[in-house]
Amino acid sequence: MNSIIQTLTAIVSDAFASCGFDPALGNVGVSDRLDLCQFQCNGAFAGAKLYRKAPFMIAEQVADVLKENPVFAKAECVRPGFLNLSVTDEFLKEQGEALMADPFLGIPQAEKPETIVLDYGGPNVAKPLHIGHLRSAIIGESLKRIARSTGRTVQGDVHLGDWGLQMGLVIAELSERCPEWRCFAEDFNPEKDEVPALEASELNEIYPFASKRSKTDEAFSQKAHICTYELQNGRAGYYALWKEILRASIADMKQNYEKLGVDFDLWYGESDADKYIPELMEILTGKGLLRESDGAMVVDVAEESDKAPMPPVIIRKSDNSSIYATTDLATIIQREKDFHPERIWYVVDKRQELHFTQVFRCAKKAGIVPEETDLAHLGFGTMNGSDGKPYKTRDGGVMRLSDLIATVTDAAKEKLTASEFVSEADHNEIAEKVGIAALKFGDLINQPTRDYVFDLDKFLSFEGKTGTYLLYTVTRINSILKKAGLDETSPLSLHSVYTDAERELWLNLLLTGGVFQRALDEKSPSHVCENAYQLATLFSRFYHDNHIMAEEDEAKKETWLCLCRFVRTVLLKHLDVLGIESVEHM
């Protein structure tokens, strides 16, 4: 459906045209003074310059035309030249009915098919997920859902770090702890030899140990490099062991991601890009882009307009190994082949900005994606502790994601009074959902590029811009509908618009689709969070002002219940695209 803004803009543009002015002046926006009017148009100011007339003369002429239109309850010119507009309740109701009938809830749908590959999560195999992975997962999941709500196809790819030195470190360490394993033997036979099963908890201990060891033990570090090289060059025993490390590690990751309500369409990793590296080298060589530098092969990506130095991107190191940028470029070849996407977006820590600038420039120079493909890095800031430094555990370590989830769940459990729950199991389940909602909303409400402070007390508050408040609002509506004996399918109609609180609610509901679009355009779920909060607040006011259940006028009561139910539908849509699960009661 056309948005109310589009509909009104069309009417006002026609009015400008009928007065002999440029219809492009008729852009309508929401009023920032809802006490004066609902919408406004400031086109007369631009018109004044164009036609050398005082703005109010233009606005007055246009207002006179608009006054004749039954859509407006008010259309007036206010000096020095604003057009203040309010629509009739009848029109608002019609718009509301159209919105309720729209399966997309007014969210503008992409005009032509569009595919986005969304690279988020980015965990590393054999390393436990920690809070550094939290933001990528939360923000990426939400962007995926927002883009899908606008009719776009999104392929969410976890892009595992599964091919680098960390694999060599784990293999080298295991080879010393368990030298008798067949996978370390030169004559390992993949047909009949087996690799023992590993546990994620073992890997979580081995990797940090090996990583630390390699910093002081030169021989071990050498060995890890050799293991990495041999793995990448197809040594069968290492490859079989690597497969097992991957299996154990991914099973563990999936559990954590599932708790967070994050899921991926593709579980590709850096290793999957390996087979595209020869093609990448061919393209770069063919285009004459590679040059040697200190034994390494690099591509220059500096541009004249660069204000800061832009180093060349290293494609192949002097020891012949490929690095991060090589893998990312090869992955772009893979994505182009598989999906020919219009956009590839990367939700990765903003500290990796230079890397992505280099990779994108190189990809465009080499023509591995068309010039018009939108390659974008959505760099996000850090989650800090109350000291303003990256959030740490009590003993100063990096917090594991599983521990963070346990912390928020415990805090939510304490906050929710036990007596309200049917059973202990019910209490636990709801506490986990509330805790995760609080955590996710507390993150997403911030513009992604900004750092923010992890403040569990604030996140879990029943008041203010919190996930808890939103879940609570939904449960309040649930209980109203339950009392009234209504469900999703009960027939309910709107009869009119009775109060200011309803008018404001309808305005919010009618403008919601535009907010989703803006969140996508700016790649910032924060707009959806803000809008959800506004909607919940308006609802609370409406609910507080009107005694729905006690209302004797049947038409009024039905209208209000209908509105309640639709507010819930729209609130749930907000939560859904934020990746937040709602609860029935709390």
CA distances from 262 to 133, 144, 253, 270, 399 (A): 12, 10, 11, 20, 19
Which residue, 43 or 164, has its beta carbon nearer to ligand ARG? 164
Residue with Cβ nearer ligand ARG (277 or 536): 277
Is 443 a binding residue for ligand ARG by CB under 6 A? The answer is: no
Q: Which residue of 161, 467, 525, 579 would you call a contact of ligand ARG, by CB under 6 A?
A: 161
Nearer to ligand ARG, 8 or 348 (CB): 348
The yes or no reply on residue 122 touching ligand ARG (CB under 6 A) is yes
Binding ligand ARG (rule: CB under 6 A), the pick from 124, 358, 382, 409 is 124
> Cβ 321 to ligand ARG, closest distance in Å?
17
**Stretch of 118-126, 363-371, 375-383, 479-487 lying at the interface with ligand ARG (CB under 6 A):** 118-126
Least separation in angstroms between residue 97's CB and ligand ARG is 45
Q: Per the structure block, which two tokens stand in for 298?
A: 């690099």
119 lines the binding site for ligand ARG (CB under 6 A): yes
Closer to ligand ARG by CB, 124 or 466: give it: 124
- Which residue's CB is nearer to ligand ARG, number 399 or number 438? 399
- Under rule CB under 6 A, residue 173 binds ligand ARG: no
Distance, in Å, from the CA atom of 283 to the CA atom of 453, rounded to the nearest integer, reads 45
Tell me the per-residue interface mask from 314 to 343 with ligand ARG, x by CB under 6 A, - otherwise: --------------x---------------
Q: How far is the CB of 133 from ligand ARG (least distance, A)?
A: 8
Please provide residue 299's backbone torsions phi and psi, each rounded to the nearest 5 degrees: -125, 130
Strand partners, 573: none
**Helix ranges, 19-88 (H):** 43-51, 55-67
Could you identify the residue written with the tokens 């709107």? 494
Least CB distance to ligand ARG at residue 58 (A):
53
- Residue from 16, 39, 346, 506 binding ligand ARG (CB under 6 A): 346
CB 459 within 8 A of CB 468: yes
Give min distance, CB of 176 to ligand ARG, in A.
Answer: 26
Per CB under 6 A, the segment of 117-125, 233-241, 288-296, 301-309 that binds ligand ARG is 117-125
Considering the complex, state which of residue 108 and residue 164 has its C-beta at the smaller distance from ligand ARG. 164
Distance CA 257, CA 129 (A): 9
348 binds ligand ARG (CB under 6 A): yes
Q: How far apart are CA 536 and CA 474, in angstroms?
A: 8
Q: Which is nearer to ligand ARG, 330 or 481 (CB)?
A: 330
Return the axis-axis angle of helices 218-232 and 200-216, rounded to nearest 10°.
130
Catalogue the E-assigned strands of 49-172: 72-78, 82-87, 115-119, 153-157
346 vs 542 by CB, closer to ligand ARG: 346
Kindly state the smallest distance separating residue 167's Cβ from ligand ARG, in Å: 12
Q: Which one, 21 or 346, has the nearer CB to ligand ARG?
A: 346
26 binds ligand ARG (CB under 6 A): no
Residue by residue, DSSP assigns 16-31 as: HHHTTS-GGGG--EE-
Q: How far is the CB of 348 from ligand ARG (least distance, A)?
A: 4
Burial grade of 114 (CB within 10 A; 0-12, 13-18, 19 or more): middle
Nearer residue to ligand ARG within complex by CB, 328 or 558: 328
Q: Which of residues 140-159 bind ligand ARG (CB under 6 A)?
A: 159
Query: How large is the greatest C-alpha to C-alpha distance in the chain, in angstroms?
Result: 92
Amino acid letter for position 98: A
CA atoms within 13 A on the CB side of 397: 9
Toward ligand ARG, which CB reaches closer, 119 or 558? Answer: 119
158 Cβ contact partners less than 8 Å away, ≥ 6 residues apart: 120, 121, 122, 123, 264, 266, 267, 268, 269
- Alpha helices of 369-496 — where are they, by DSSP H? 401-415, 424-444, 456-459, 467-483
Using rule CB under 6 A, residue 377 touches ligand ARG = no
Q: How far apart are alpha carbons 297 and 310 in whole angstroms?
A: 16
> Given the complex with ligand ARG, which of 159 and 415 has the nearer CB atom?
159
Among all residues, whose Cβ is closest to ligand ARG?
A: 122
What ranges in 154-306 are assigned the alpha helix state H?
A: 165-177, 200-216, 218-232, 236-259, 277-286
Shortest spacing between CB 374 and ligand ARG, in angstroms: 15
- The answer to whether 584 and 478 have CB atoms below 8 angstroms apart is yes
For residue 196, what are the CA distances in angstroms to 115, 241, 242? 41, 8, 12
By CB under 6 A, tell whether 66 contacts ligand ARG.
no
Report the candidate in 349, 360, 323, 346 with the shortest Cα–Cα distance to residue 131.
349
Phi, psi of 183 (to 5 degrees): -65, -15
Determine the interface stretch with ligand ARG among 116-124, 235-243, 274-282, 482-490 (rule: CB under 6 A).
Answer: 116-124
Rounded least distance, CB 124 to ligand ARG, Å? 5
Closest distance between ligand ARG and the C-beta of residue 118, in Å?
11
**How many chain residues are in contact with ligand ARG, going by CB under 6 A?**
8
- Chain positions contacting ligand ARG, by CB under 6 A: 119, 122, 124, 159, 161, 328, 346, 348
